[in-house]
């Protein structure tokens, strides 16, 4: 029998949710026997494959490429999980929303660059910031939400186990917290 295909994706976040996934520690060994990790920032396959069973998405949608990625992931994943508070609420990544992009970019690349050759604006190679960073479910349908900044390894383990059984995880109250 083929093992279920799992992917993890990192959009506008700090990678802390992925680190919490790695904090499964020895449970990773068990997980390796149960799933195929088909795409992830900790792995090397560049293309997002077809027919992924479960995709965990870390981070908010902060730019045009994140948004495109989100739609692509949705089309190719049976279940999509908002992985952590940034994906779920925008969290720290959305703290920029009270400033305009000009204010944000000028601060970093003009005021704080004593040699300011240019703002990062060559959008043939780099992404364009959205005016607002938004949670994942603002742009695509999401099947389950993992709370926490980051979610704890226990919560991740529970979610993975349920999803592998084909059930949408119903979290106990102690998992339903932000931060």
Q: Taking CB under 8 A as the rule, does residue 135 contact other proteins?
A: no
Rounded to whole angstroms, how far apart are CA atoms 134 and 112? 26
Q: Is 66 in the site for other proteins (CB under 8 A)?
A: yes
Instruction: Compute the Cα dihedral for 134, 139, 140, 141 and give only its sign.
Output: positive
Could you list the residues that contact ligand SF4 (CB under 6 A)? 13-14, 16-17, 58-59, 84-86, 91-92, 149-150
Instruction: Please tell me whether residue 170 adopts helix, strand or coil conformation.
Output: coil
Q: Of the candidates 15, 137, 138, 171, which one interacts with other proteins according to CB under 8 A?
A: 15
Cβ neighbours of 61 (radius 10 Å): 29
With contacts defined by CB under 8 A, how many residues of the chain interact with other proteins? 68
The site partner of 176 among ligand SF4, other proteins, none (C-beta below 5 to 8 Å per kind) is none
Residues paired with residue 77 on neighbouring β-strands, in sequence order? 52
Question: What's the farthest any 2 CA atoms get from each other in the chain?
Answer: 59
DSSP H or E stretch at residue 125:
none
Q: Please report, as ranges, the residues that interact with other proteins according to CB under 8 A.
A: 9-20, 22-23, 25-26, 28-29, 32, 37, 39-48, 62-63, 65-66, 69, 72-73, 91-93, 95-96, 98-99, 103-105, 107-110, 112-122, 125-127, 129, 149-150
């Amino acid at each position: 029998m083929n093992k279920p295909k799992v992917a993890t994706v990192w959009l506008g976040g700090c990678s802390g949710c992925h680190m919490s996934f790695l904090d499964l520690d020895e449970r990773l060994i068990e997980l390796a026997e149960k799933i195929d990790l088909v795409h992830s920032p900790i792995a090397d396959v560049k293309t997002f494959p077809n027919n992924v069973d479960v995709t965990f998405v870390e981070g908010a949608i902060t730019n045009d490429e994140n948004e495109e990625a989100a739609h692509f992931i949705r089309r190719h994943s049976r279940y999509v999980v908002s992985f952590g508070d940034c994906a779920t609420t925008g969290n720290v990544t959305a703290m920029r929303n009270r400033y305009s992009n000009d204010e944000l970019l000028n601060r970093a690349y003009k005021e704080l660059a004593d040699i300011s050759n240019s703002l990062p604006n060559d959008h043939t190679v780099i992404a364009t910031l959205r005016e607002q960073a938004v949670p994942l479910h603002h742009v695509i349908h999401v099947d389950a939400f993992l709370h926490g900044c980051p979610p704890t390894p226990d919560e991740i383990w529970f979610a993975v186990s349920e999803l592998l059984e084909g059930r949408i995880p119903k979290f106990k109250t102690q998992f339903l917290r932000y931060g």
